[in-house]
Amino acid sequence: MDEKYFAKKIEAKWQKKWAESGAFAASEDGSKPKYYQLEMLPYPSGNLHMGHVRNYSVGDAVAWFKRLKGFNVLHPIGWDSFGQPAEDAAVKRGVNPRDWTEENIVSMRGQLQRLGLSYDWSREIAAHRPEYYKWDQWFFLKMFEMGLAYKRKTQVNWCEHDQATLSNEQASGGLCWRCGNPVTKKELEQWFLKTTAYADQLLDDMAAIESGWPAHVIKRQRDWIGRSEGAFVDFKVKDSEEKVRVFTTRIDTIYGANAIVAAAEHPLISANKAEFSTEVNAKIDEIITERNKPTDRETEIEKDGIDTGLKAINPFSGEELPIWVGNYVMMEYGTGAVMSVPAHDERDFEFAKKFELPIRQVISEPHLAHEHHTMHALALEVPFTDKGVLVHSDFWNGKTSEDAKSEMTKHAAVHGFGEAATTYRLRDWGVSRQRFWGSPIPIVYCDACGTVPVPIEELPVELPENAPITGTGESPLAKVSEFFNTKCPKCSGPATRETDTMDTFVDSSWYFFRYLDPNNAEKPFDNTKAAYWTPVDQYIGGDDHAVMHLIYARFWSKVMRDIGLVEFDEPVHRLLTQGMVVGETFYDDSTGKRKYFSQVDVTIERDEKGKIISATGTDGTVLKHAIERMSKSKGNGVDPDEMVEIYGADATRLFVLFAAPVDNELVWHEAGIEGAVRFLQRVWRFVFKWRDTLRSATRDAGTEELTPAAKKLLQKTHQTIKRVEDALDTLQFNTPVAAMMELTNSLYEAQIEPEAATGSEKAAVHESVNALITMLTPFAPHTAEELFSAIHGSDEGMIVGGAKFPVYRSELAASDEIEIAVQINGKLRSRISAPAGAANAELERLAMADPKIVEHISDQTVVKVVVVPNRLVNIVVR
């Protein structure tokens, strides 16, 4: 056994031992409580980045902590291995996407293993393998059967740069989520999954998980689903049998309507195009063209529109209203038409101002309502969007907005021109991709039978070996005739296969259930295994997946529940989103050009405080210092492999956990990681100094009286146990490291030497060191294992050896004497020492007797004394 800390050697040793002993292999075991620790699975790009290291270090700390606390822990990992980069590689370098992906998995698996992450590798899965994607197809067919998967013609979001269709989520803000280029529109037949069927459940079930999820994720999901309660109202079109239906949340404002504004794509508009003037049609076309242009989210689009000449009748007032086309009304939301009430809506107000339409106030602030009865409509300077009391609304005058809403909705329903309605922002999930590297959609098209699902026995529909991948946007599968041409499962006549593949978010919507039963050939997973392990106890990943992935995964679970695979509503009880890892970048200040330097190439000059005065490159250029997201192009990325090679996996992981709270951004500072190494070495040196003594010493001091040093050390030890345990329970990883550093400092400061120690001191050091090592395991497992074996004289490892998290004993953590702060008028003036648990009167007496206090209050009157037991005495004087 080496007495010098040599990370590489012990890390390789323990990684081997863990693998050989199957230390992290999980199985259903009713004798222990289960714990499912999950981290978001990586895309196999070929290289781990520091964001992965942070995500997985945090997850591993939780997994180890729960293991040491006696849980049966499942901690799996796999690969989100379908997706575009594999096709890009195929286009650029002519490689086979499968080979490229498999090679990347091999290299990244090696990286994860060198970090010593405690995964159950026997459960590893990869989405691109037929054994996995077979079940994507199985689920698709189930949803098809249930009417949850359907096909329709639609405008899709199209990224010209990536030559790919994108979901609404992926095209959020008019920019491609992957490459950031503008998104355009294209018309295609697409498969959809009916997420909207679960909109209410997705929204309402959040109440049950709210306490375990970050507030910002809950909020974003609520916004995303965007439920809105209101009413549909039908307006008759004058001189026609047609009606135009609007959605409104403010039916109470209907007497203030001055127009109906429809989307340019509205069916009523298309149907009447022949009737419109050329000017009107030109404007309609212009609006459609403008809308299909890439949207720039910085500039607000100016309101535009035109009066079509059509008229509608307000069913409440009987008033005739012009029907306009407006660029601010979207066909995709509500009914594609609105009643414009400029007095009480910002957008309608702006529109009315621009086109000089009448603005009529029909809602008043309650205290002004009476005046309005006698006055004519007045022009508002700004729209009044609050609720209030109805005015200029005939029969409804004087009613509150709330009452009017429900009564007017009922009125509309009774008279057959409206009904209560709920709309959602959430859209159905378009899953079709004109791509090769994804799960084929298991559908066959037959001239005789139409759209036919592939029978479940015939799954998987496998991807062909060779397909021409050109990146041009047509599905490569259409060009592989042995795939494309097939027989109809129903009539055996000639048929063709669906050539689109599924969005990769399908794979990640249910992967964490496949870990439970990765080799099942009959079903996606066994119900009883799922019942044992799920829901996931703790899920950890980046908050870039706060909406898409986490809404799809929740949707998928609800579908699985309805199929009878699981029995719960929500798959994830607790969610943690870790912050980004950012790097330092040094720009060339004189040219501002793209000349970047890594930290090692830079000479930094600081003032006596340590503040950076200037930074200079090795070639003498003056550099500007910036903290930015790590990326290859900025040259500020850090290679995890390099860190592990230089400092070791333990130090790398320890630093990542210690450097910042887990949900904060983490600035990578190479000097910081050296601090982590120093700490580990400090622990190491102490343990080896004591190794031989500890091996023969007992942790039980027996009846021997504790020396003051031993007592103090035990106090610090048990205080630390509590701090570390509480922190880990609440998912804090920086403060427990600080606590362990303090304990290490205390071990040195105790100045107990192995040769001179008494029996009780040896026992105290033994207990302290043992606790420290065990608590260190979630943060630096290799070092902890090596030190544990050093003092126990056994190489079997903590898992096999049944190591447990140290047990906190409050009676040992408490000290007899406590320092009490003494304040005068809230200002700290002195500190006194008092017995723990001393009575308030006693504390007051001691404080008043303190010489410093006596001097301070000598010429003043004591008005009041506040005593906080075990904490402070505050003397109020005048």
Partner RNA sequence: GCCGGAGUGGCGAAAUUGGUAUACGCACCAGACUCAAAAUCUGGCGGGGGCAACCCCAUGUCGGUUCGAGUCCGACCUCCGGCACCA
Name residues contacting RNA, limited to 624-683 (CB under 7 A): 658-661, 664-667, 669, 671-672, 674-675, 678-679, 681-682
Asked if 742 interacts with RNA (CB under 7 A), we say yes
Indicate the residue among 464 and 579 with the shorter CB distance to RNA: 579
Using DSSP bridges, classify how beta strands 622-629 and 612-617 pair: parallel, antiparallel or unpaired. Answer: antiparallel
Using DSSP bridges, classify how beta strands 78-79 and 72-74 pair: parallel, antiparallel or unpaired. Answer: unpaired
Place of tokens 């992450």: 117
- List phi, psi (to 5°) of 385: -100, 0
Least distance to RNA from the beta carbon of 343, Å?
13
Which residue in 368, 378, 828, 841 binds RNA (CB under 7 A)?
A: 828
Q: Which of residues 426-465 bind RNA (CB under 7 A)?
A: none
Q: Which residues of 560-588 are buried (b: 16+ CB within 10 A; e: fewer)?
A: bbeeebbebbbbbbbbbbbbbbbbbbbbb
Asked if 383 interacts with RNA (CB under 7 A), we say no
Asked if 219 interacts with RNA (CB under 7 A), we say yes
The site for RNA, by CB under 7 A, has a size of 90
- Residue 747 structure tokens: 């071990």
Indicate the residue among 5 and 512 with the shorter CB distance to RNA: 5
Least distance to RNA from the beta carbon of 465, Å?
39
Rounded Cα–Cα distance for residues 84 and 378 (Å): 59
Indicate the residue among 600 and 671 with the shorter CB distance to RNA: 671
Rounded Cα–Cα distance for residues 298 and 159 (Å): 19
Indicate the residue among 220 and 809 with the shorter CB distance to RNA: 220
What's the CA dihedral at 95, 98, 101, 102 to 10 degrees? -110
Q: Which residues contact 283 (CB under 8 A, 6 or more apart)?
A: 304, 305, 306, 325
Least distance to RNA from the beta carbon of 608, Å?
5
Asked if 338 interacts with RNA (CB under 7 A), we say yes
Q: Which of residues 251-270 bind RNA (CB under 7 A)?
A: 263
Which of 720, 819, 728 has its CA nearest to residue 772? 720
Indicate the residue among 356 and 608 with the shorter CB distance to RNA: 608
What's the CA dihedral at 46, 47, 51, 55 to 10 degrees? 70
Asked if 4 interacts with RNA (CB under 7 A), we say no
Least distance to RNA from the beta carbon of 157, Å?
12
Q: How many DSSP H helices and E strands does the chain contain?
A: 28, 35
Half-sphere exposure of 173 (CA within 13 A, CB side): 10
Least distance to RNA from the beta carbon of 246, Å?
7
Least distance to RNA from the beta carbon of 847, Å?
12
Indicate the residue among 6 and 748 with the shorter CB distance to RNA: 748
Which residue in 163, 172, 397, 715 binds RNA (CB under 7 A)?
A: 172
Which of 37, 25, 14 has its CA nearest to residue 122? 25
Task: Name the segment binding RNA (CB under 7 A); options: 111-119, 127-135, 225-233, 534-542.
Answer: 225-233
Place of tokens 């459609």: 288
3-state secondary structure (DSSP) of residue 192: strand
Indicate the residue among 606 and 624 with the shorter CB distance to RNA: 606
Asked if 425 interacts with RNA (CB under 7 A), we say yes
Rounded Cα–Cα distance for residues 463 and 467 (Å): 9
Indicate the residue among 82 and 349 with the shorter CB distance to RNA: 349
Q: Which of residues 103-142 bind RNA (CB under 7 A)?
A: none
Q: Which of residues 538-567 bind RNA (CB under 7 A)?
A: 547
Task: Name the segment binding RNA (CB under 7 A); options: 122-130, 566-574, 730-738, 807-815.
Answer: 730-738
Alpha helix ranges (H) inside 306-400: 346-355, 369-374
Q: Which of residues 743-782 bind RNA (CB under 7 A)?
A: 745, 748-749
Which residue in 496, 734, 758, 815 binds RNA (CB under 7 A)?
A: 734
Q: Does the N-terminal peptide bond of residue 476 adopt cis geometry, omega within 30 degrees of 0?
A: no
Asked if 301 interacts with RNA (CB under 7 A), we say yes
Indicate the residue among 312 and 565 with the shorter CB distance to RNA: 312
Binding track over 808-827 against RNA, x by CB under 7 A: ----------xxxx-x-xxx
For 751-810, the DSSP string reads T--TTT--HHHHHHHHHHHHHHHHHHTTT-HHHHHHHHHHHHT--S-HHHHT--PPPP-H
